[in-house]
Amino acid sequence: MDAPMQVSPEGLAWFEAARFGMFIHWGLYALLGRGEWVMHNERIAPQEYAGLAERFSPTAFDADAWVKLAADAGQRYIVITSRHHDGFSMYDTALSNYKITNTAFGRDPIAELAAACTRHGVKLGFYVSLLDWRHPAYRFRRESGQHWADYLTFLHGQVRELCTKYGEIACIWFDGDWPHHTFTADDAYFVPGGPFRYKALYSMIHTLQPNAVVLNNRHATPLPGEDIQGFEQDLPGQNTAGFNVTGPQVGKPLEVCMTINDHWGYHRADTNLKSARQLVHTLARAASDGANLLLNVGPSPDGKIVPEQAARLRKVGAWLARNGTAIYGTRAGSFIPTTDAVTTRRDNTHYVLVLNDAQTVTLQGAPPAGLNAQLLTDGIPVTITRNGNAITLTLPTAGRDSLATVVVLNTEETGR
């Protein structure tokens, strides 16, 4: 039999129903507190940067606390950086000495997270950087005499470890191969020494972890073997960040990844946090587009999820505890999204997520017959007025949610 080139139907169904995940960018860079690109941005030489490993001592790290926070936030999966562009492995790899278990800390946080995830019913997946700013076979082939094939052995070997050491995983999330990026003299060392051999890489993942999805943050049309199309810092079809030059592929499962502030890795001075209301609206918009939201936290060097980020996640979780029916396991909405409201759908039930505080909301593209509407949380009836293809909902003043109010619309017609 040919090696599988896609996730199992069960694995894909689980991933699509999950809708909300926690992204974690955590590595040596947290010590400097200027984001995960600090090594490149400040042109820190690999030797000097490696000195951070001697100072890394995240004694406050508590896997249960992290996973419990994700569960409280309503996040069904976690994706953590196993190795970012700086090349430091955050788990006990047998393929490099440049790893967390060789620091004074000595522990494998990914093994601890895997165990905690099992306890709390959250799935764990891994971010893997294709790009490596220090590996001799990636960046220093001339100096080291190593070959691109040596890097591929390392990369594929690490992915094999991640697929075999930590139980069943949610995903492998690749990053660092950006075909649309124009390299200059400043970032010439980002250029890979050859192809990544994706076909072999993806079929290995799909063989070892049949229920795990593969995503590659290439900002390009997904390749065979990539189960999910990803969008960075933007909803599908938007491109405010300049990364998302490729629109959503019809029928492809989608995931949006986003920061809570303006950095992925811990940034001491970045206090530009999105509010809980903004985060709920982004989650609602993603769901209405048929996409998951992978929302990032950047833990501090001592091993804690920053309290301001945690506080916002808990508020989103409290909203989901009341309104999660409108998010989990839904499909993209059938009404046209507006600034005031977006919709999701489950069979003949439509969920209208009202994103402003106005008393009425108008939706275009109303289904023909048998409509009734009420608030999700307490069943208070909502008045429906029809006008051609539009319907206007008049909401009661009681029962409004300050983050987003959900109206349930039931129709009799069969799916379209």
Shortest distance (Å) from residue 36 CB to ligand JFZ: 5
Q: What is the largest CA-CA distance in the chain?
A: 74
Q: Does 244 bind ligand JFZ (CB under 6 A)?
A: no
Shortest distance (Å) from residue 121 CB to ligand JFZ: 25
**From 205, 257, 293, 355, residue interacting with ligand JFZ (rule: CB under 6 A):** 257
Report the residue number, 134 or 350, with the smaller CB distance to ligand JFZ: 134
Which single residue is written with the structure tokens 């070997």?
157
Report the residue number, 182 or 271, with the smaller CB distance to ligand JFZ: 182
**Nearest position to ligand JFZ, beta carbon:** 178
3-state secondary structure of 79: strand
Shortest distance (Å) from residue 297 CB to ligand JFZ: 12
DSSP assignment of 260-273 equals SSS-SS-BTT---P
Cα distance between residue 111 and residue 318, in whole Å = 29
Class of residue 38 by CB neighbours under 10 A (exposed 0-12, middle 13-18, buried 19+) = buried
Stretch of 53-61, 175-183, 391-399, 406-414 contacting ligand JFZ, by CB under 6 A? 175-183
Q: Does 36 bind ligand JFZ (CB under 6 A)?
A: yes
R_g (Cα) of the chain, nearest Å: 22
Cα distance between residue 49 and residue 364, in whole Å = 55
Report the residue number, 155 or 353, with the smaller CB distance to ligand JFZ: 155
Q: Does 295 bind ligand JFZ (CB under 6 A)?
A: no
Tell me how far CA of residue 222 lies from CA of 237, 263, 372, in angstroms: 15, 25, 40
Q: Does 105 bind ligand JFZ (CB under 6 A)?
A: no
Can you say how many angstroms the Cα of residue 35 is from the centroid of all Cα atoms in its chain? Answer: 18
Report the residue number, 83 or 350, with the smaller CB distance to ligand JFZ: 83
CB contact burial 81-92 (16+ within 10 A = b; e otherwise)? bbbbbbbbbbbb
Give residues with Cβ within 8 angstroms of 317, minimum separation 6. 72, 73, 74, 75
Binding positions for ligand JFZ, 261-280, rule CB under 6 A: 264
Q: Does 175 bind ligand JFZ (CB under 6 A)?
A: yes
Phi, psi of 226 (to 5 degrees): -95, 115
Q: And the tokens for 10? A: 């069960």
Q: And the tokens for 62? A: 């508590």
Stretch of 3-11, 144-152, 173-181, 297-305 contacting ligand JFZ, by CB under 6 A? 173-181
Class of residue 268 by CB neighbours under 10 A (exposed 0-12, middle 13-18, buried 19+) = middle
Q: Does 49 bind ligand JFZ (CB under 6 A)?
A: no
Size of the site for ligand JFZ (CB under 6 A): 11
**From 55, 119, 147, 181, residue interacting with ligand JFZ (rule: CB under 6 A):** 181
Q: Does 189 bind ligand JFZ (CB under 6 A)?
A: no
**From 140, 148, 178, 328, residue interacting with ligand JFZ (rule: CB under 6 A):** 178
Shortest distance (Å) from residue 29 CB to ligand JFZ: 9
CA angle, corner 133, sides to 130 and 138, nearest 5?
A: 65
Cα distance between residue 209 and residue 255, in whole Å = 20
Tell me how far CA of residue 405 lies from CA of 15, 18, 288, 336, 381, in angstroms: 25, 21, 15, 18, 13
Report the residue number, 24 or 353, with the smaller CB distance to ligand JFZ: 24
Report the residue number, 178 or 328, with the smaller CB distance to ligand JFZ: 178
Stretch of 8-16, 174-182, 205-213, 392-400 contacting ligand JFZ, by CB under 6 A? 174-182
Q: Does 82 bind ligand JFZ (CB under 6 A)?
A: no
Shortest distance (Å) from residue 75 CB to ligand JFZ: 16
Report the residue number, 105 or 243, with the smaller CB distance to ligand JFZ: 243
Can you say how many angstroms the Cα of residue 260 is from the centroid of all Cα atoms in its chain? Answer: 12
Residue 164 near residue 208 (C-beta atoms within 8 A): yes
Binding positions for ligand JFZ, 198-237, rule CB under 6 A: 217, 232
Report the residue number, 246 or 392, with the smaller CB distance to ligand JFZ: 246
Give the interface with ligand JFZ as residue ranges (CB under 6 A). 25, 36-37, 175, 178, 181, 217, 232, 243, 257, 264
